[in-house]
C-alpha cells in the first residue's frame, strides 16, 4: 500500500506532510533487485522491492501506532487535522451546502488506510447478510448494507429497482441522514469494533476515544480550531467503514421491525425502506424517533446522542 497505492499530488496535513513524503521515507535506503520498470521515472515501482531502513522504520512506527502505542502527550497534535469545506451541488451564498473534510495527520491516515485494506473482507462478512445464521435472533431477516466501494451505490440502485419490479404494490422510502458522518455517536461503532474486531480496537480507540482539534481558516484568513468529538471524520480512510459498523445495529433493529413485510437496504448514509406503504410509514415513525434534533433540523450546541429507541 505504501509503495504503490498512496495517492499522488496529495493534500498536506496541518504539519505540511503529504503522502509523497511517506513514500520517500519508505524508499529511503531501499533498493530493488532489478532496475525500475520505468527507467524514465526513478520513482516508479521497481520489479522487486527490498525493504531498507526507511521501510523498516516506517513499518515499526505504523505497528506501534496500530497497537495503541501513541504517547498521550502527542495525541492531540498527532491526531489533529486541517478542516476544509467542499461545496455540494446546490450550494449558494444564501443556502450553504458543504461537506467538511478533515485532513488528518498523514501518518495516521497511512495506518488507517492499511487497516481498512486488511479488514476489508471481515467488514464485508459482517455487513453483508450472512448465510449462517440465515436470520437474526428471533427470526427476522438481516438488513443489506452494500459494499464500501464506489460500486456499492450501483448495487443499491439495481437492488431497489429489482425489488420494486418484483413487488409493484411496494414503495421506496429513501432516507438521507443529515450530516450523518458527524452525527453518529461514537459509542455505536465502538461497541461493534469491541465485539467483532477486537484487534482493531486499540487503533480506533487511539483515534476516536477523545476529542481532537481541527484547524481551519476564517474569512479574514485568521486561524481557528474546532473540536472533533462526535462521529467519524470524513477524510479518515476508516471513516466510512466505522460509520457503516455504527449504523449496522440500527439497521438490524429496523429490519426486525419490518420483518418479512419489506426490505431495509443501505449504502453509506443512503437508507432505503422498501415495503407496502403502511409498513414504510410504521418504520419511518420508529426511525424518526431515534434521530437527534441536529439530524432533523437546525443545529444544536451539543453533539447529538443518536440513541436508538428501536
- Chain segment 52-75, per-residue pLDDT in tens: 777 888 888 889 999 999 998 888
- Does residue 252 form part of some domain? yes
* Domain that includes residue 285, residue range: 19-33+52-290
What pLDDT is stored for residue 73 in this prediction? 86
- Does residue 295 form part of some domain? no
Which of 32, 10, 29 minimizes the C-alpha distance to 20? 10
- Does residue 98 form part of some domain? yes
- Chain segment 142-162, per-residue pLDDT in tens: 998 886 666 788 888 899 999
Burial of residue 98 (number of CB atoms within 10 Å: 0-12, 13-18, 19+): exposed
- Does residue 145 form part of some domain? yes
Q: Are 158 and 267 in contact (CB under 8 A)?
A: no
- Does residue 88 form part of some domain? yes
What pLDDT is stored for residue 146 in this prediction? 80
Any residues with CB less than 8 A from the CB of 195 and at least 6 apart, and which? none
- Chain segment 101-122, per-residue pLDDT in tens: 888 888 899 999 999 999 998 9
Q: Is the pLDDT of residue 295 over 50?
A: no
- Does residue 310 form part of some domain? no
Q: Which of 78-87, 89-98, 216-225 has the lowest mean pLDDT?
A: 89-98
- Does residue 128 form part of some domain? yes
Q: Which of 25-39, 164-178, 217-231, 258-272 has the lowest mean pLDDT?
A: 25-39
Q: Are 279 and 261 in contact (CB under 8 A)?
A: yes
Residue 93: which pLDDT band, with cuts at 50, 70 and 90?
Answer: confident
Q: Is the pLDDT of residue 141 over 80?
A: yes
Q: What's the CA gap between 3 and 31, in Å, rounded?
A: 12
Q: Which of 162-166, 216-220, 257-261 has the lowest mean pLDDT?
A: 216-220
Q: Which three cell numbers stand for residue 245?
A: 459498523
Beta-ladder partners of 83: 102
Which of 225, 204, 252, 160 minimizes the C-alpha distance to 65? 204
What pLDDT is stored for residue 294 in this prediction? 46
What pLDDT is stored for residue 228 in this prediction? 86
Q: Which three cell numbers stand for residue 287?
A: 426511525
- Higher per-residue pLDDT: 193 or 178: 193
Type and span of the H or E element at 265: strand 263-267
Kindly state the average pLDDT of the residues 208-214.
87
What pLDDT is stored for residue 131 in this prediction? 73
Kindly state the average pLDDT of the residues 16-28.
82
Tally the domains of the chain. Answer: 1
Burial of residue 300 (number of CB atoms within 10 Å: 0-12, 13-18, 19+): exposed
Q: Is the pLDDT of residue 289 over 90?
A: no
For 36-188, list the strands marked E by DSSP. Answer: 49-50, 81-87, 98-104, 144-145, 171-176
Which of 229, 243, 215 minimizes the C-alpha distance to 303? 229
What pLDDT is stored for residue 64 in this prediction? 93
Which of 95, 125, 127 minimizes the C-alpha distance to 244? 127
Burial of residue 224 (number of CB atoms within 10 Å: 0-12, 13-18, 19+): exposed
- Does residue 5 form part of some domain? no
What pLDDT is stored for residue 296 in this prediction? 42
Amino acid at each position: 500500500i505504501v509503495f504503490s497505492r498512496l495517492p499522488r499530488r496529495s493534500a498536506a496535513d496541518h504539519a505540511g506532510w503529504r503522502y509523497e513524503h511517506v513514500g520517500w521515507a519508505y524508499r529511503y535506503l531501499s533498493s530493488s533487485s532489478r532496475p525500475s520498470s520505468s527507467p524514465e521515472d526513478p520513482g516508479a515501482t521497481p520489479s522487486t522491492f527490498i525493504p531498507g531502513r526507511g521501510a523498516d522504520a516506517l513499518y515499526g512506527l505504523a505497528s506501534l501506532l496500530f497497537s495503541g502505542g501513541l504517547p498521550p502527550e502527542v495525541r492531540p497534535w498527532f491526531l489533529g487535522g486541517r478542516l476544509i469545506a467542499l461545496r455540494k451541488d446546490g450550494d449558494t451564498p444564501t443556502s450553504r451546502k458543504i461537506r467538511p473534510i478533515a485532513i488528518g495527520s498523514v501518518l495516521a491516515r497511512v495506518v488507517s488506510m492499511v487497516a481498512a485494506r486488511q479488514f476489508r473482507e471481515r467488514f464485508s462478512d459482517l455487513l453483508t447478510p450472512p448465510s449462517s445464521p440465515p436470520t437474526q435472533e428471533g427470526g427476522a431477516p438481516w438488513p443489506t448494507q452494500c459494499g464500501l466501494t464506489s460500486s456499492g451505490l450501483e448495487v443499491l440502485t439495481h437492488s431497489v429497482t429489482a425489488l420494486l419490479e418484483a413487488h409493484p404494490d411496494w414503495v421506496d422510502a429513501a432516507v438521507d441522514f443529515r450530516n450523518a458522518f458527524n452525527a453518529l455517536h461514537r459509542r455505536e461503532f465502538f461497541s461493534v469494533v469491541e465485539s467483532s474486531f477486537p484487534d482493531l480496537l486499540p487503533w480506533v480507540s487511539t483515534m476516536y476515544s477523545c476529542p481532537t482539534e481541527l484547524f481551519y481558516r476564517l474569512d479574514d484568513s485568521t486561524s481557528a480550531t474546532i473540536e472533533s468529538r462526535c462521529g467519524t471524520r470524513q477524510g479518515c480512510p476508516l471513516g466510512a467503514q466505522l460509520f457503516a459498523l455504527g449504523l449496522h445495529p440500527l439497521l438490524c433493529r429496523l429490519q426486525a421491525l419490518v420483518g418479512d413485510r419489506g426490505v431495509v437496504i443501505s449504502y453509506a448514509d443512503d437508507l432505503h425502506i422498501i415495503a407496502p406503504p403502511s409498513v414504510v410509514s410504521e418504520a419511518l415513525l420508529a426511525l424518526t424517533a431515534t434521530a437527534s434534533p441536529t439530524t432533523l433540523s437546525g443545529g444544536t450546541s451539543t453533539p447529538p446522542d443518536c440513541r436508538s429507541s428501536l
